[in-house]
Structure 1
Amino acid sequence: MSTRSDDALIALRKIQRMTELASKRLAQTAGLTPSQMTVLRMLEEQGELSAGHVAEITQLKHATITSLVDKLEARGLIARRRCDTDRRKVWLSLLPAGKTALSVAPDPLHETFATRFDKLPDWQQSMLVAALERSARLLDAEELDAAPFLDIGDLG
């Protein structure tokens, strides 16, 4: 391997490790995954939302949102209710325990990244996106389903 490929792999590993560390910190402080916290924050900021709208905004599959909502509801962090006029539609709302969980949670890594990324000049943003997309292709990962937040997965 060339030194540059080593440097690239080290940078990728640092990103992976930071994602793992941030997810573990969030799990330890609030008992949440980044995707769960994203849903709670959406409900805090926007009020009651449909599960379909949450799936659309988070770019998560409906089955993933259903599983995530099941876990949040079981913990008493959110409430779920069926729409009166369309039984297929499910409305989600934040409960006081969800607000408490958010109050102790650290800022998610993807929000820190987005804030800093947005401050970069357009040309640097474009170059970073191109380099990251190329990296995903080099790893045969371009077809993987992924949402725009850094998450290592379920807590267990």
Structure 2
Amino acid sequence: MSEPSPHLTLEVLQQFRVIYGTMRQYFRELEECCGLPGSQMWLIQEVERHPEIGITELAGRLGIHQSTCSQLVDRLVDKKYLSKQRLSTDQRRVGLCLDEAGRLAIAALPGPAEGVLPQALANIPEVALKTLHINLDELIQHLPGHDETFAATPLADMLGKAGNRNK
């Protein structure tokens, strides 16, 4: 098997830079508009889409661990973006609902709370998505020290606030 040309390797690296930079820029804009990080906005958006959702289902929708989801929810309840209420269908269970601050944050969203990458992935043809999946898996296998636990961390949290680039 021959090694790829340095030119092609650099072009692919530049593609990753475009993806990474685009996501960072979007999440910065989202936080400026809404006053909350992307992961918290995604959680609020899921509560808006699914009123009275429980923590377990919400964690599954976000692809994060239930304890992480519970911590995020508690922060948002403390800040009055969300409230916990008895379910209308089963008074023994508690679900999440938007408070006024949550509705205002949702109204300020510049686009999807989960970010532009999931939306872009959902819009490409399935055959292209399957090919990308196979190729990214191959790349991950060649990454020294790759850590599969990152798969459960929202992109908005990974991108953080490290460094600011002028727009």
Q: TM-score, normalised by structure 1?
A: 0.80
Matched, 1:143 2:148: yes
What secondary structure sits across from 1:106 in the alignment?
A: coil
Structure 1, 106-115 or 30-39: larger mean CA deviation = 106-115
**RMSD of aligned Cα (Å):** 2.7
Contact 1:23/1:152 (CA < 8 Å) preserved in 2?
no
Alignment pair present for 1:18 and 2:22: yes
Give the Å deviation of 1:2.
1.3
> How has the CA–CA distance of structure 1 residues 144 and 10 changed in structure 2, closer, same or farther, with 3 Å as cutoff?
farther
Pairs within 5 Å for 1:81-96: 81=85, 85=92, 90-96=94-100
Alpha-carbon distance change, 118 to 52 in structure 1, aligned in 2, over 3 angstroms: closer
Residues in 1 aligned to 2:114 and 2:12: alpha-carbon distance in whole angstroms: 21
Partner of 2:82: 78
Structure of higher CA gyration radius: 2
3-state SS in 1 of match to 2:95:
strand
2:110 alignment partner in structure 1: 106
Q: CA deviation at 1:119?
A: 3.8
Unaligned runs of 5+ in 1: none
Distance in 2 of aligned mates of 1:62 and 1:32: 20
What corresponds to 2:135 in structure 1? 131
Residue aligned with 1:144, SS: helix
Q: How much does 1:115 deviate? A: 4.0
How many residue pairs get matched? Answer: 152
Gap regions ≥5 residues in structure 2: 162-167
